[in-house]
Amino acid sequence: MKKPHIILLNDVPFELAMKLADITGGKIEGAKKRSKLASVMFDDLGVHLQALFNDGQPIVAIMAAGAVIRLLAPVLGDKKKEPPVIIISEDGKQVVPLLGGHRGANELARKIADGLGVNAAITTAGDLRFGVALDEPPVGYILANEQNAKAVMAELVAGATAKLTGVAPWLDNSTIPFEANGKVRLTVGESVVEPGPLELVYHPQNHVLGMGCERGVGGEEAIGLARDVLAKSGVAPQSIAAVCSIDVKADESAIHAVAEYFGVEARFFDAKQLEAQAARLKNPSDIVFAEVGCHGVAEGAVLAACGVDGELVVDKHKSQRVTCALGRAAGLVDWGTLGRARGKLFVVGIGPGSEEWRSPQVSAMIEASSELVGYSLYLDLIAGISGGKTRHDFDLGREEDRVRHAMELAGTGKNVALVCSGDAGIYAMATLVFELLADGGLSDGARRIAIEISPGISALQAAAARAGAPLGHDFCTISLSDLLTPWEDIQRRVEAAAQGDFVIAFYNPVSKRRRTQLAYARDRLLEYRPADTPVILATNLGREGEKIRIVPLAELNVEDVDMLTVVVVGSSNTKTVETGDGRRWVYTPRGYSAKPGSGLKEAAQ
C-alpha cells in the first residue's frame, strides 16, 4: 500500500500524528493557517482532500468523520477504485476505516489500532465476521467471477458453510466455516471453471506467456496466437502473471498489446539472461541466436521468468510472424525473476505549481513514478505528492543533461517523471526529449522507453485568467531569450506580431544580464498600437507572492519585471473595464461585432 497522508487541521493532535507517522511511514500534512509543525502545508482542506482522493492516495485524517464525509462527497464514485480513508479521533481512541475497507483501509486501520493499543471499528461484514474479504483476494490471486461475491457473502453471513477446493492459505487462516458438503463453494486453481451461482473461483497467477515476434507485426496476430496457446493448455487467462520477451522488443507494440489484453505487465530480459536457459529449451534455434544472441526468445523468456523450478507447459508455437510459449512457476510467480519493465517517461507540466491548478492526470503520473527529475524549485512545488520518491535535482541551464538523465533512468525500466512548470510543451522539456531521440547518442534502453506527455496550465493561461480575458482574439507567444534563438530572429518575430496586431505573451522577458530586449519590444510595439494599450505583468502566478499589475504600454518599465514574470501586451483592440468592487480587468473583444450580419450586431440592433 502507498504510504498515507496524515491530515491535521491544527497542531493540537501533533503528538498523535507523529505516532501515526511512525506506525505507517506516512507524512504529516497540515492546514497552512492553523499548523506550524506539519511537514507539508495546504491552503484549502477540501481541495487537498479531494485531490488526494482522486489521486488514489490513502488518507488518515485526525478530525470529525462528518466533516470528511461532506468534503469528499462530491468526488465519491466507484467504490472499487476508492483509496483507503481512515478517521481517527483527537484522543487516538477511535480508529474508523471510513472508505476503501476492502482496498486496504481495514488492514491499515488494524495496523494503526494495534500501534495505538486500541480497537479498530471494522464494519464490513466479511472482515468483521470471517476476517477476510472474499471480493478482494490477496496479491497473486484473481477472482474470476466478482459478480457472485455479494450472494456468496450473504449466504455465509446467514449461516451457510463453504466447501474449499484447492490450496489457499489465506482462506485456511480465515474463520469461514468449511464442510465437505458446504452450500457455498470456494474454488482455487489455474484451470478454466464454469462457476455455479454460489461459487467463487480464484486463479493463482502462476503462469507466464513468452512471446517473440517480427518487427512491426500487428497486435491481433500476437493476441490470437496467445489465446490459442492458452486454449491448448486449459489454463485460465487470469492465471497469467506477465507477458515476457527479449529487451529489444521492449518497444514492440504487439508484445504490449498481448499484455494489455490479459491485463498484466510486459517484462523483458536481455539476450544473456535468455541464453542462460539454452539447456532447458525444447526448440533451440541457431537462426534466432544469430539474430538476437540467444537460442530462444519465447521459451527462454518463460523459463527465465518462472525460475529454476518452473517448467514449460506449452512449448513454442508459431504463427506467420509471432512465437509464443507458456510456462508455470512452482508457486506464485516471483516478481523478482520477471526481468525489467519497459521504462516510462512522463513529461508533466505542473502549471504554476499550486495544487488546485495541477491536473489529476499530472498528479497520477507523478504518483506512478519512482523517480522525479527537474529543476529544484519545480520539485519543491510538488513536495506534497512526492513522498518516498527519489529526486534528481538539476540547476537552471542544464536542461539537456536533465532530460538525458531522465530518459536514461527510464531506460533501466523505471517510471520517471520529468517535471516542468507551466505546460511541458511550451518553452519546456518535451521538445528536448524528441530532439535527443532524433539526434542519437542515447542508450538502446533509453531509445525504447514509453513516453507520455500531460499538459499543464501555462503562464500565459494563468496570467490571462488572473487579469480577465486578454486572449479573447488572436494571440502569440514570443520568448525574448537569445540563448537558443538569434536576436535577429526575435526582432523579426516582434515586428511581425506588431504588424499583425496580435496580443503577445512575452516569455523570458529579462534576466540578470539581459535587460534590453523587453525595452526594444515595447518601443517597437508603440509604433503600431496606442500608448495606453494594456500590459499585464504577472509574477509568481499561483504561488506565494503572486502579483498582478496592469500598466499602459508606454509606461512599461523593464525594472518592474523579473525572471518570474510573464508579460502580456494587448492588441490595439484590447480594453480595460472596472467592476463594482473597484477591480480592473483586461479583455480583448472577439471581433465579431464589426462583421456585417453577425449575431452580436443583430442583438445590439
Question: 417-453, pLDDT tens digit by residue?
Answer: 999 999 999 999 999 999 999 998 899 999 999 999 9
Total residue length of the chain? 605
Which pLDDT tens digit goes with each residue over 11-43? 899 999 999 999 998 889 988 888 888 878 887
| Whether pLDDT at 102 is above 70 | no
- pLDDT surpasses 60 at 243: yes
Residue 169 banded pLDDT, cuts 50, 70, 90? confident
For the stretch 299-335, pLDDT in tens is: 999 999 999 999 999 999 999 999 999 999 999 998 8
- pTM exceeding 0.85: no
What is the pLDDT at residue 2? 79
The SS3 assignment for 116 reads helix
Cα-only R_g, the chain: 30
Q: What is the pLDDT of residue 99?
A: 87
User: For position 177, what pLDDT does the model report?
Assistant: 92
Bridge partners (DSSP) of residue 575 are 587
Distance in angstroms (rounded) separating the CA atoms of residues 522 and 39: 44
pLDDT at 96 over 70: yes
Q: Are strands 95-99 and 344-349 parallel, antiparallel or unpaired?
A: unpaired
User: What tens digit of pLDDT does each residue of 214-227 get?
Assistant: 999 999 999 999 99
CA-closest candidate to residue 511, choices 547, 561, 550: 561
The angle that helices 487-500 and 517-525 make with each other, rounded to 10 degrees, is 30
Exposed, middle or buried: residue 391 (CB in 10 Å: 0-12, 13-18, 19+)?
middle
Any idea which fold 5-123 has? Answer: Rossmann fold (3.40.50)
Q: Which of 80-84, 334-338, 475-479, 598-602 has the highest mean pLDDT?
A: 475-479
Q: What is the mean pLDDT of residues 87-95?
A: 91
In CATH, the number for domain 349-457 is 3.40.1010.10
Give the separation between CA 198 and CA 184, rounded to whole angstroms.
Answer: 5
Domains of the chain, residue spans: 5-123, 141-204, 207-340, 349-457, 460-592
Half-sphere exposure of residue 205, counting CA atoms within 13 Å on the CB side? 21
Amino acid at 399: E
Say whether domain 207-340 belongs to CATH 3.40.50.2000: no
Give 597's pLDDT tier (boundaries 50, 70, 90).
very low
Whether residue 593 has pLDDT greater than 70: no
- Given 3.30.300.20, 3.30.950.10, 1.10.630.10, 3.90.1150.10, which CATH number is that of 460-592? 3.30.950.10
**Picking from 194-198, 317-321, 529-533, 589-593, which range would have the lowest pLDDT averaged per residue?**
589-593
Q: Calculate mean pLDDT across residues 89-111.
A: 85
Strand segments, DSSP code E, in 396-449 are: 415-420
Over residues 551-583, the pLDDT tens digits come to 999 999 999 998 889 999 999 999 999 999 999
Res 124 pLDDT > 70: no
Instruction: Evaluate whether 206 touches 141 at the Cβ level (below 8 Å).
Output: no
Mean pLDDT, range 106-118, rounded to an integer: 89
In the numeric block, which cell numbers belong to residue 161? 458453510
Average pLDDT, the chain: 90
| Contact (CB, 8 A) for 565 and 494 | no
pLDDT average, residue stretch 142-153: 89
Higher-confidence residue of 1 and 109: namely 109
